[in-house]
Chains A and B, each alone.
Chain A
Amino acid sequence: MTDMKPLLRLSSIGKQFGGLSALSDVSLHIRRGEIYGLIGPNGAGKTTLFNVITGLYQPSAGGFEFDGKKYQACKPHVLAKAGIARTFQNIRLFANLTALENVMIGRHVRTRAGVFGALLRDRATRSEEHAITERSRELLRYVGIEKPAQTLAKHLSYGEQRRLEIARALATDPLLLALDEPAAGMNATETESLKALLQTIPDRGITVLLIEHDVKLIMGLCDRVAVLDYGRKIAEGVPEDVRKDPAVIAAYLGSGDE
């Protein structure tokens, strides 16, 4: 955290769906190298915020700055190229492709071979293809699903699919990895091993933004946490402070005492 400029700075993001205001006036910043948690009750707007910063939705108000550049109304692939990678709450793998191919597609944005490269198979294309495969295998190994590399994504177990999504996102060489409920549907052991994996991601120079319902996971993993409720940010800070915040307790846990 020597670089004090935040990696991602959201300023007054708003998102309307018809009359419904899914996000209003959300401002936050994420520092380089931290694990930043985003929590909130169901329907609080966490995934909407994700979709805004990954370009799937265009914000109705406000904008954001990523790695020193302003982005407004950008397509998802532009933001992926800029260095924001994501996973999806409801897994969206390329189901009929193998695990390895899924990760290889993640390398697309950092590689360049075009149609002529494909047709001529020149030296540059072959060595790039080789590098893509090597890197993808390395990532599969990193997330711990090296063995089923040739299995179709849809035949992987649920936990493996979640990990494959992470590997695929990492393959885009992101600066910011945005994980939408990576532990959803996992049992305690799986969550624990996922946590161990996530903890090593900042060592690769990647900042993590994490949406999670599992409060224990968030509290144990995140450097800082923001809490959304009804599309507004109601608290932000280190996990210990946030969990004592009366507004959070009221919104998230529903009643007075913890």
Chain B
Amino acid sequence: MKLVRKSGVQLAALVITLLLLPFITDALLGRGWVRIADFAMLYIMLALGLNIVVGYAGLLDLGYIAFFAVGAYCYALTGSPHLALAFPMAFPDGVHLSFWIVLPLAALTAGSFGMLLGAPTLRLRGDYLAIVTLGFGEIIRIFLNNLNAPINLTNGPQGISRIDPVRVADVSLSATQNIFGIAFPSVHLYFYLFLAFTALVVIVSRRLERSRIGRAWMAIREDEIAASAMGLNTRNLKLLAFAMGAMFGGASGALFAGFQGFVSPESFSLMESIMVLCMVVLGGMGNIAGVILGGVLLAILPEVLRHSVVPLQQALFGKTVVDPESLRMLLFGTALIVMMLYRPAGLLPSRVRRRELGSDEAPESL
């Protein structure tokens, strides 16, 4: 059909643009921006994971970054010399498992943490659930911060460094590689790795959304009592939503640790949870395209500010009046308020919400 051909062409164009993106960015804006694009990709994966919990199942989770942390520390511990400090007898050189072994383990570990969080909160909804999940996120972070004694498991606030880079087919992604005579710097290589994972996460999200399980989650979001009266095992489905969301978080955490080579509890603060939630809400809860847009905007905006605010103020006033970090919060807050007033369903509302907004003008023809 024509429609199919058209969307096929669009898809091909999108793929080519994305494949060229690191080179274009590198040429136009500099290497730093490729790195920012890499982080944006990680954020998109996180936001899509959270979208399962918040957007589909309607469970407000303010501690989502904890699963990212669990995944990151999974790889940090099993892919660095660090464990030699804690268990010098057992691991004199630390543990150096392959990233590809740790990745599923990290996802599964984070998934079990998701269940662990889900189990006691099954009866809670809305604000109450948000508060418990917020507490959970902080508990994980505080544990990571303090588990350097009596045995040094996490190295406390100093974090774990010298994490092995990700290797694909024995090629390390941390060094520039020449492929077909083209030099691919490390950030470019990671960009492609993250792009592949983001694509996978998008496909998984889409398939879940349009499945029996996805419908069941949305039924719980809409009316839990009616859902259970229709025979939905709400307990299991909610646990499943928490676990699936957490697995996405854990996998992106492992990617983050491999990319960064260093993790510390500082990266997993409450602010990060809120950032990811903002991406979901700002973009359009329950809509994959919206969530991606939200992720891109919120990951790039602070960098744009960082690069523009200080030079701008220097030029205007000759000194820095407002530092970019506080300006970022100010803009964020304003943006959220404006959004809630004018586009409460997000920049790209979900299919259903869009229809709901549109159907007043164009009612179903009978």
Contact = CB atoms under 8 A, between A and B. Distances in A.
Interface of A: 54-56, 75-77, 80-81, 85-86, 88, 92-98, 101, 104-106, 108-109, 111, 113-115, 117-119, 121, 125, 128-129, 132, 147-148, 150-152, 154-155, 168-169, 171-172
B331 to A, nearest CB: 31
Given A88-B226, A121-B207, A152 B214 contact: no
A109 B230 contact: yes
Given A94-B223, A108-B230, A113 B355 contact: no
Given A76-B228, A108-B212, A108-B216, 7 more contacts: A56-B229, A77-B231, A94-B223, A97-B215, A104-B215, A113-B212, A129-B212
A95 B229 contact: no
B240 A115 contact: yes
Q: Which 4 A-B pairs have the closest CB atoms?
A: A109-B231, A80-B231, A118-B211, A94-B222
Given A76-B229, A105-B232, A155-B359, A148 B211 contact: no
B109 to A, nearest CB: 18
B230 A118 contact: no
Contacts of B232: 77, 105, 108-109
A47 B19 CA distance: 61
Contacts of B240: 115
Name the residue among A56, A81, A95, A108 with the largest chain B CB count within 10 angstroms: A108
Contact of B366 (A76, A95, A147, A154): A147
Contacts of A171: 230
Contact of A148 (B226, B230, B244, B364): B364
B364 A101 contact: no
A86 B225 CA distance: 12
B328 interface: no
Interface in B206-239: 207-208, 211-216, 218-219, 222-223, 225-234
A171 B213 CA distance: 16
A80 B219 CA distance: 15
A90 B44 CA distance: 40
Main secondary structure on B side of the interface with A: helix
Contacts of B366: 147-148
Contact of A105 (B207, B219, B234, B352): B219
Contacts of B208: 115, 118-119
Contacts of B343: none
Contacts of A114: 212-213
B353 interface: yes
Interface centre among B204, B208, B233 (most CB of A within 10 A): B233
Contacts of A88: 226, 229
Contacts of B222: 93-97
Contacts of B212: 108, 111, 113-114, 117-118, 128-129, 132
Contact of B211 (A81, A86, A101, A117): A117
A230 B218 CA distance: 38
B234 A151 contact: no
Nearest to B230: A106
A152 B355 contact: yes
Given A77-B231, A118-B208, A96 B215 contact: no
Of A54, A86, A111, A118, the most chain B CB neighbours within 10 A belong to A118
B266 interface: no
A36 B73 CA distance: 61
B356 A155 contact: yes
A152 B213 contact: no
B364 A86 contact: no
A54 B364 contact: no
Nearest to B209: A118
Contacts of A121: 207
A19 B230 CA distance: 31
Contacts of A128: 212
A86 B229 contact: yes
A79 to B, nearest CB: 8
A105 B216 contact: yes
28 contacts: A56-B228, A56-B229, A75-B228, A76-B228, A77-B233, A80-B229, A80-B230, A85-B230, A94-B226, A94-B227, A96-B353, A97-B215, A97-B218, A97-B222, A101-B215, A104-B215, A108-B219, A108-B231, A115-B213, A117-B211, A117-B212, A118-B213, A128-B212, A129-B212, A148-B366, A155-B356, A168-B230, A169-B230
B212 to A, nearest CB: 5
B352 A81 contact: no
A101 to B, nearest CB: 6
Contacts of B231: 76-77, 80-81, 106, 108-109, 172
Contacts of B219: 94, 97, 105, 108
Contacts of A94: 218-219, 222-223, 226-227
A196 to B, nearest CB: 21
Nearest to B360: A155
